[in-house]
Structure 1
Amino acid sequence: MSSNDLLMTLVVVTALSFDFTNGFHDTGNAMATSIATGALPPRVAVALSGVLNLVGAFLSFSVAATIASGLVQSHLVTPTVVFAGLVGGILWNLATWFFGIPSSSSHALIGGVVGATLAAAGGHAVLWHGVVSKVVLPAVLSPVIAGAIAALGTYLVYRLTRGVTEGVRNRGFRIGQIGSASMVSLAHGTNDAQKTMGVITLALIANGSLASGHKAPAWVIVSCALAISLGTYVGGWRVIRALGKGLVEIEAPQGMAAESASAATILLSSNFGYSLSTTHVATGSILGSGVGKRGAEVRWSVAGRMATAWVFTLPAAGAVGALAYEAAHGIGGTAGVSVIFVVLVACALAFYLNSRRTPVTAGNVNAEWTGSVAPAREPVGAAA
């Protein structure tokens, strides 16, 4: 194997690793409310989400095109730049998963790639108009829009069913949540799986293996779909708890309204190629469901902490991406990428081993997010 082939292999493996972390990091976007209301058992929920993420990855490729050619000048990008950007995204994903923070995997990836590009080629290599119109504006508007839709939907649901007993209403909407949660998982595949497809395509273009503007090859589409699906099945349990219980004490009608709002917002954005954060959308929807129900307790302080993490995601991942590029470039060539790859694997292993030391207990989920106890740690795949 030539050094160039080894370099591209490391880039593809790292990209698929990011896709895997995206899957377990963002499982809560689709299934948090269904698990919280008892509509679906945890294992069934994440298995269903995994399958539908796989299906959704084949339904739309507009977001992949945006990532591949709409954010940076592809002729100024090298495989090393793409690799460094992926390192920035993965490390931010691992750190926020470790502390149970529902941050944006999408923005971590984009921030990492933009930061590495800035370090390698300067500000002129970034298509700032594309970053603002396709990333920043959707990040600001999508949770507001999803929240407004969820609030209106929740209000109408309770208004129209005010003559129905609470038990009958909740049972009916738990059944409805199976459909709405499934739509969110499908929508997640149409948006988030596309981002890694776009990054691998960008690396292939930078390597000269594809012509500029070329669409993702079939093997890229299949491998990314499988990676995000597998990551979803593994499950991001601490993020599920934060979204499902940390923001609002949610009931089945609210859950169905929130999930329907999330699915509609994500699918519409995917159609136009907007690389939005499904985490932002899901959080906005859940908050909206709390606003729409009279007497519901909305923990705005928790939402504020989440929003703070969102603000720091792009620059933090960008800084890590830039540092990774400088380190890999300083060492030089494939050797530099190989060294950073080994460091990345070591960091991932450290996060995983530390997460297993203190499993979370059933009573401290809300306390974790209200600040009364230190964030608990749990193993990936622990029972919810």
Structure 2
Amino acid sequence: MMRFSTLIRHPADWMTGTSTKDCAVITSRIRLARNLRGHPFPGWAKKGERAKALEILQPAVESLGVMKDAFSRELKDLSSVQKQVLVERHLISREHAARGDGSGAVIERRQSFSIMLNEEDHLRMQAIRSGLQLSDAYKALTELDTELEEKVDYAFDPNLGYLTTCPTNLGTGLRASAMLHLPALVLSDQIGPVLQAVNKIGLAVRGLYGEGTESLGNLYQISNQSTLGESETTIIDRLERVIQQVANHEQNAREKLLEDDPDMVADKIGRAYGVLRHAYLIDSKEALNHLSLLRLGGNMGFFPADTVNMCDSLLMDIQQAHLQLHAGKKLSPEQRDVIRAEIMRSRLQSLNSPDSHNIKNDQTDRFPENGNPEEA
């Protein structure tokens, strides 16, 4: 099995696969909730019952084809920093990180699949892909789910579907979501109406780390809220349409900002570059907000296109637990701010100043083939 240090040494596949064409949608995630038949839900189970469920689940998950050479551990064997690193990489939930005895995680070596054992449900399985690839992520996770169902006995009712701890997951057990980067909608004060429209059609909008978290760096998660009474494909198709519409609105807002006020756009991106390139102290919130503008600059052509991938990697590497892992010790907030700035300066050392020359006259090339929100 893979060591923790090996797992986090390289960025996940989905952290480096975003293209400028899919500039608004960073990642797509599909999660399935499943439980064992005849075993109490983890929240109701006694310590011995949780351990028994884990004894069944962990070897079954490790034996899956995609989990060859995977990372597999009981959470009690991980330090608090290691667990928080997995949260920051969206591989386990904050709630799961708070658990210990009787809980575990199995993570595919490229971090495209992760399975939480004895979280709120016995199994919380997820597939993550870069860009808007909900259907591909669902297809891949369904294959894993089908293979696992041949090894363990799921709790399933012919009328209700898959049985889950929370009624909102009952039925398909499906939660589909996408992480979107929406800086132009924020800069143009259109973000409120767009997100209100998303909420009105029954979808949830959350922050960087899901339910109960704020939006940082102009990043938003959009997901389905109900799972009962609709097929998986119906849920995913509707969500993909809405996410594409939001992405189109963001694209339109970027074009309009460049058309109406290119100097303001260049100024904001240039200031963000200047701060990140030269700061010696920077807190997480400020860093994420400046990184958001740097990423926007990579999408708009102010920087080389691979700047986007660098920003996506930095989004993870400057988080609190990643910094402590990097330093090999517990850090005070002030020490984290120093190391965060140091990492930024180092990574941006070879990135030249933003080039705004002819940006305004080159919008068509910079925003290809995404269409009109009205046509979506």
Q: TM-score, normalised by structure 2?
A: 0.28
**Structure 1 or 2: more strand by fraction:** 2
**Structure 1 or 2: more helix by fraction:** 1
| Structure index of larger Rg | 2
